[in-house]
Amino acid sequence: MSMIVNRRDLDFLLYETFDLESLLTEQRYADYDRESIEAILDLAQSVAEDKYLPIAALLDANEPEYVDGKAITIPELKEALAAYKDAGLCTTGYDADVGGMQVPDMVHQAINGMFVCANGPASNYEFLTQGAANMLIACGSQELQDKYLPKMVEGEWFGTMCLSEPQAGSSLADIRTKAEPVGDGSYRISGTKMWITGGEQDITENIIQMVLAKIPGSPPGVRGISLFLVPKVRVNDDGSLGEHNNIALAGLNHKMGQRGSTNCLLNFGETGDTIGYLVGGENQGLANMFHMMNEARISVGMSAVQYALGGYLYSLDYARNRPQGRPIGNKDPEAPQVMISEHTDVKRMLMAQKAAVEGAQALMYYCAQMIDKQKTSKNEEEQGRLALLLDLLTPICKSWPSEYCLEANKLAIQILGGYGYTREYPVERLYRDNRLNHIHEGTWAIHGIDILGRKVSIAGGAAVKYLAEEMAATIEAAAQWPELADNSQRLAKAGKQIQETLQAVAQSPDPALALANATLFLNAMGHVVVAWMWLKQAIAAHQGLVGANADDRAFYSGKLAAADYFFRYELPRIDTDLTLVANLDSTCYDLSAEQFVGR
């Protein structure tokens, strides 16, 4: 059993649930068939298992060190990243016209997922590069692309995203980094950026920082933010490296988890001129950044899923091999012990992990499929519909796994007991690593306000309507299996509860009160969407069961059991949340800071 991927389940998602094969018939993916996709996945799995996984604990125990303004990483990290690059896996996410492999996003996600599961902190360097490069592709001038993109696509140079500042984390309106025009079209960047993953490292010769900054005289707040490409080392016109661009590493953050990624405090323009280049239009920085934000946020969700997958696979393997105790009712102390996977509460903890991991994973592939359809569809109406659905689901993709896949990691520790609490086993590390995901790329609260305050009402509520239509279609498809009737009814009821809640919220006289329980709405909406994903998987499982062999029957019946688990153990929990949201409960809204502890 691999500890980084369940290929049987991946097949189930890609082919049986989300129909990758029909996507492969599109012109865009004409180079690929199922066999060649398998070969790429095999390659990725072997690099992830052989190079990334074995050094994960080592990297955690030997975090990067700050020495004389440099961030020093261990050589094993450099070797692992080189293996990834040498295998050409950097290029899976790019189109052919910029030198990429142009595989479907579903496949790209599957590949990246294996690397996160094997060693997320090592993967961050390359994945942030992909985000930065995609931003450059989407908004950068041809000149900038020609100069910087090829090296980023090849993995020769890494990239970053520099948004936050020490005094401005969630509130980008308050950033202070300045960009003053030099006169030749470039800008002099000055200011301090915080929380920059990969902002400094000793792995690549150059680092391409994508930096949010304000041009003097621009409007206050987010409407005055522009985006700049700022290289660590200046690049000459012939492509050779020039002088250092005066980005100083002021310090490294020492984190609870994700220790293998450098996380930096950077000073721009302090030791000399730091030159940057405008990407996209002046004052369009936030819009340009948000261009990539959906992708980044879905990546965060995927990463939360994969950390939990690691814990799930490890704890499952452990539970199947650790003898302890006897079944309830067997009081004979001389009877042999059973494997702990026989104890009902261990099964419950495994099932809770499976339901969270595989439910959230399905959502990730559903969104990846939509991204692929956006790229292949010629129908403008369909593209609009896909864009709205993706917009609506993005906060769920980001936040639901950050919460429930972290809970899964918590349960993985619990299954291993005392051993799980030690650093000799990976489950505690995965838990620490995963705790970040609720914080970066927008906190849980911010996504709650995003979905309830904005996404549910854009285009006159069209996204919610489209989602309801999609869910109804799944319920209809499920109708041919009477065994799914109960779960279908539960999903239909939950969908209705969401609608009623939205109607109640729309009546609020006070817009701030309407959003007082937005986080709870996001939580409940996530449960409904994941339940829907489980109904989709249950349909695929029933289809698969027809004529399946014994192994496959166990697999499919496990999918059906996990669907039942989610509908019975998880979905009903939305009642409390939605009641509070619909009632415009003001218990928290009304509080003043003095009430918490008294004098």
CB of 75 to a copy of itself, least distance (A): 23
346-357 burial string, b = 16+ CB within 10 Å, else e? bbebbbbbbbbb
54 binds a copy of itself (CB under 8 A): no
CB of 387 to a copy of itself, least distance (A): 25
Kindly tell me which residue out of 344, 380, 507, 509 binds a copy of itself, with binding defined by CB under 8 A: 344
Sites for a copy of itself among residues 242-261 (CB under 8 A): 253-257
For residue 284, the tally of other CB atoms under 10 A from its CB is 17
CB of 548 to a copy of itself, least distance (A): 10
Only segment of 21-29, 137-145, 204-212, 405-413 that touches a copy of itself (CB under 8 A): 405-413
Sites for a copy of itself among residues 124-153 (CB under 8 A): none
Kindly tell me which residue out of 102, 201, 306, 519 binds a copy of itself, with binding defined by CB under 8 A: 519
Binding flags for a copy of itself, 526-565, as an x/- string (CB under 8 A)? -------------------------xx-xx-xx--x--xx
Residue 29: CB partners within 8 Å, gap ≥ 6?
23, 102, 103, 104, 376
221 binds a copy of itself (CB under 8 A): yes
Sites for a copy of itself among residues 499-518 (CB under 8 A): 511-512, 515-518
Only segment of 141-149, 181-189, 333-341, 365-373 that touches a copy of itself (CB under 8 A): 333-341
Q: What is the DSSP letter of 173?
A: G
Kindly tell me which residue out of 98, 339, 468, 545 binds a copy of itself, with binding defined by CB under 8 A: 339
State whether residue 466 is helix, strand or coil. Answer: helix
6 binds a copy of itself (CB under 8 A): yes
Kindly tell me which residue out of 111, 203, 449, 538 binds a copy of itself, with binding defined by CB under 8 A: 449
- Tell me the C-alpha distance between 119 and 258, whole Å: 9
Nearer to a copy of itself, 106 or 351 (CB): 351
**Dihedral through CA 199, CA 200, CA 204, CA 208, nearest 10?**
40
Only segment of 90-98, 113-121, 127-135, 320-328 that touches a copy of itself (CB under 8 A): 320-328
Kindly tell me which residue out of 108, 385, 432, 536 binds a copy of itself, with binding defined by CB under 8 A: 432
**Dihedral through CA 539, CA 544, CA 545, CA 551, nearest 10?**
-130
173 binds a copy of itself (CB under 8 A): yes
**Dihedral through CA 325, CA 331, CA 332, CA 337, nearest 10?**
-10
Nearer to a copy of itself, 116 or 416 (CB): 416
169 binds a copy of itself (CB under 8 A): yes
- Tell me the C-alpha distance between 26 and 376, whole Å: 7
Q: What is the DSSP letter of 96?
A: G
Only segment of 3-11, 278-286, 378-386, 483-491 that touches a copy of itself (CB under 8 A): 3-11
For residue 48, the tally of other CB atoms under 10 A from its CB is 29
304 binds a copy of itself (CB under 8 A): no
- Tell me the C-alpha distance between 565 and 559, whole Å: 10
- Which secondary-structure segment (H or E) carries 571? none
For residue 141, the tally of other CB atoms under 10 A from its CB is 15
595 binds a copy of itself (CB under 8 A): yes
Nearer to a copy of itself, 221 or 384 (CB): 221
- Which secondary-structure segment (H or E) carries 210? strand 207-214
328 binds a copy of itself (CB under 8 A): yes
Q: Please report the DSSP string for 474-507 in residue order.
A: HHHHHTT-GGGHHHHHHHHHHHHHHHHHHHHHHT
591 binds a copy of itself (CB under 8 A): yes
Nearer to a copy of itself, 77 or 340 (CB): 340
Counting residues that bind a copy of itself (by CB under 8 A) gives: 113
559-588 burial string, b = 16+ CB within 10 Å, else e? bbbbbbbbbeebbeebeebbbbbbebeeee
387-414 burial string, b = 16+ CB within 10 Å, else e? bbbbbbbbbbbbbbbbbbbbebbbbbbe
568 binds a copy of itself (CB under 8 A): yes
598 binds a copy of itself (CB under 8 A): yes
Sites for a copy of itself among residues 407-426 (CB under 8 A): 410, 413-414, 417-418, 420-424
Sites for a copy of itself among residues 350-389 (CB under 8 A): 350-351, 354
- Tell me the C-alpha distance between 58 and 298, whole Å: 28
Half-sphere exposure of 436 (CA within 13 A, CB side): 23
